[in-house]
Each structure stands twice: as C-alpha cells, then as structure tokens.
Amino acid sequence: MSTNEFSPGVAADAADVAEGSWGDEAEAVELTADDVLADVRSTARAMVRAGCCTFEQVLGRALELAALADDAPSAGSVERVVRHEWDVRAAALAQADPAASDHVRVERAFAALGREGVAARLGFSCCRECGEAELREVLPDGGAYALVTQPDLEQLAAGRLVVRCGVLRADEARAEAAVRDVVGRVVAALTEQGLDARADGRTVVVHVREWAKPLPAAA
C-alpha cells in the first residue's frame, strides 16, 4: 500500500490516540479541603520550626494559603492545624537545649557582622527583593548586607540555611568585588562560630545540624 492510500485501521488508531491525548490534557485535578489543609500544615510546620514568626503571623499566612483554593477549609479548621503545629513545636523546644542550637551561632555571627558594618538580618522579609527595598531605607549607598529571608528559613528541614549577600547601589565597576568581599566576611564570621559555611556565588550556604530557636511569643 502506498503512503497516499487510506487505511481505516490506521485512521481509527490515530483517532484513539488523539482522543486519549485530549482527554489527558482536559482532566483536571480537584483539590479537596483536606488536601488544602495538608498544604497548610506543611507550611505552618516550616514557619513554626524557623522560630521567627508569631502565632498570629503563621496563622495569617495559613489563612491566605487556604483562601487560594476553590474548596477552602474553614478558618476554624485552619486555626486548629496551626495551633497543633505550634503546640507540638513548643513541647519539643521545652526538651531542647537552646545553647546547642545552631541558631545561637548564627545570631552571634550576625552580631559580629553588624559590628563590622554589615547589616545582617535573620528571618527578614518575604524575599531578597523586598528585603533590599527595606534595607535601602536605612543603609547608605554601598551599604553591605547579609540576610536570610522567611522562605529561606522555611527550608531548614533540608538541613541548610542560605544567607544572601550584597551591596546596595554599588558602583557597577566595583560591585562584583564588593559582593565577594561581603561573602568572604560572612563565611569567616560563621566559621568562627563553629559552623560549616561555604560560599556559593552571591550566597553563603550553612550546614545546619540542630535548630531550636525559641518561639518568639506565647500564643
């Protein structure tokens, strides 16, 4: 049979394939309220573990996340999930030794950087861009910074902390060298506190063994 001849079998097979493909693309995954609560629980657990947000801040974030779903769980259900994660973390911290926590060493390193003129912030802002915008209000041109954002802290379960380094409004010709200098100073400060810290471009990656930062306030 030539390639131009019509074959009913081939046509039928092609139609079946096409129909199956369209069906797969059209199939939508519907999230239930329980699915949404599972996401809320995961986010709340990460935020609470970081130890930089109050109960109200965690709850506010959880409610915002839940509201994005078509089948949104009730506010009461969301609050119960957040309360559970908060109480579980509080109980665990009651048995922990804060002095053995890496957050103490990070805070000491950041305090030392502050004395050297580097604005070091832990759990600062929702992202690097917003953090830089806030720092521009208090730092002069060329001001150096090292910050860990809230989303960065929420990744602590992976056993690492990312410190984002930079220089505000630096002269373009000197910007790269200035940032390298800040990165080097951050690595040195963290290493001096006994932490495993390594430069990674404009960031510093810190290996975290234990994080037992106390909750900022009782709920």
Residues 164-212: pLDDT tens digits?
999 987 677 788 899 999 999 999 999 999 999 999 999 999 999 999 9
DSSP state of 54: -
Would residue 216 count as lying in a domain?
no
Q: How far apart are CA 166 and CA 202, in angstroms?
A: 7
On whether both 79 and 144 belong to a single domain, the answer is no
Helix axes 55-67, 33-50, angle to 10 degrees: 150
CB 78 within 8 A of CB 55: no
On whether both 170 and 114 belong to a single domain, the answer is yes
Q: In terms of C-beta density within 10 A (0-12 exposed, 13-18 middle, 19 or more buried), how is residue 131 classed?
A: buried
Distance in angstroms between the alpha carbons of the first and the last residue of the chain? 79
Would residue 200 count as lying in a domain?
yes
* Run of H or E residues at 205: strand 203-207
Q: Could you give the residue ranges of the DSSP H alpha helices within 95-171?
A: 102-115, 128-136, 150-153
Q: What pLDDT does 162 receive? A: 95
Q: What pLDDT does 137 receive? A: 87
Q: What pLDDT does 18 receive? A: 41
On whether both 80 and 106 belong to a single domain, the answer is no
On whether both 49 and 112 belong to a single domain, the answer is no
On whether both 139 and 68 belong to a single domain, the answer is no
On whether both 111 and 198 belong to a single domain, the answer is yes
What is the pTM (predicted TM-score) of this model?
0.76
Q: Which two tokens stand for residue 192?
A: 């001096």
Q: What pLDDT does 218 receive? A: 56
Q: Vertex 78, ends 72 and 81: CA angle to 5°?
A: 135
On whether both 21 and 49 belong to a single domain, the answer is yes
Q: What pLDDT does 28 receive? A: 53
Q: Which domain holds residue 203?
A: 99-207
In 33-62, which positions are buried (b, 16+ CB within 10 angstroms) versus exposed (e)?
A: beebbeebbebbbbbbbbbbbebeebbebb
Residues of the chain falling short of pLDDT 50: 1-26, 219
Q: How many domains, in total, are found in the chain?
A: 2
On whether both 35 and 129 belong to a single domain, the answer is no
On whether both 75 and 24 belong to a single domain, the answer is yes
